Amino acid sequence: MSAKLLDGLKISKEIKAEVEKEVKILFETKEIKPGLAAVIVGNDPASQVYVGSKVKTCESLGLYSEKHTLAESTTTEELLALVNKLNEQDSIDGILVQMPLPKQIDADKIFSAISPSKDVDGFHPENVGKLALKQNGFVACTPAGIMELFKRYGLAVAGKHAVVLGRSRIVGLPMALLLTHSDATVTICHSKTQKLREITKEADIIIAAIGRTAFVTTEDIKPGAIVIDVGINKLSEETEVLRYFPDYTKRLEELEKKGYTLIGDVEPVCDTVAGYLTPVPGGVGPLTIAMLMKNTLKAAKLRRGL
């Protein structure tokens, strides 16, 4: 292995400790307790785990939190009614509607309905517009967390060629904007991109956010590149574990115990070529939650003019 592993878990602990300290001061001096409402529609097991973890983190840092679970059959209008109620609720500073949403729900309508001042996911058109124009607003948590990772590891982005795989509202698009604002030269690749692997090979920085198991291979990256793996995919077959993990002992144990192990969008063996790599798990995932806490604290302060 040649790559230095970028420890997202460690950085997330630093960020959370900073949030916890500020939340404590806010409560002691002004009796303000930032509050987050997490909304989950349906029973996608991964979403349940993510939202559970977000709520638990709120509790551990001294934030108020509410979890709202709605049925898989929920309509756009029903979800809008809940969002409107949360917009009005004084104890709530941040509203998070977990993605993906069931097909019958118009996600654009939902994100546009969340008050921009409570939009801690940064998905509202006003906040996306502010990000595009480099104005202060709420920035989506995963890309914001990745920028924190660069900053805290002292990894310069300016002048570098960054290739973003994926153009989603959650990661790819805001990531490309943030990197552009940090003076990187940015290429966005997606499902229609031609000769994608020739493009990634030129990259100083690769952000893999396409949701495909081990999509980025050792052949696709320039030696020494910074590779950020946003993917969270499940492997549940022993043959797959043996195929993807050169160091498979612990992964097989995990498979035995939990029935699956996690793998990113980047082949684990890329650690022999990359200069820096985020592990899965323990890379980008924990940073997303830490930035959500930071955004909720920011929302609580802004809403009160602090």
Residues that bind ligand GUN (CB under 6 A): 96-99, 121, 141-142, 170, 288
DSSP per-residue string spanning 48-62: HHHHHHHHHHHHHHT
Amino acid making up residue 231: G
- State the nearest-atom distance from the C-beta of 287 to ligand GUN, in Å: 10
How far lies 77's CA from each of 82, 83, 88, 104, 113, in Å?
A: 9, 10, 17, 11, 11
- State the nearest-atom distance from the C-beta of 141 to ligand GUN, in Å: 5
Nearer to ligand GUN, 197 or 212 (CB): 212
Nearer to ligand GUN, 67 or 160 (CB): 67
Name the burial class of residue 132, with classes exposed (0-12), middle (13-18) and buried (19+) by CB atoms within 10 angstroms of its CB.
Answer: middle
Q: Give the residue numbers annotated as catalytic, written as ranges.
A: 54, 98, 121
Nearer to ligand GUN, 47 or 218 (CB): 47
Residue number closest to ligand GUN, CB atom: 99
Nearer to ligand GUN, 204 or 278 (CB): 278
- State the nearest-atom distance from the C-beta of 213 to ligand GUN, in Å: 17
Strands of 4-5's sheet, edge to edge? 4-5, 276-277, 226-229, 205-208, 161-165, 185-189
- State the nearest-atom distance from the C-beta of 204 to ligand GUN, in Å: 25
Amino acid making up residue 100: P
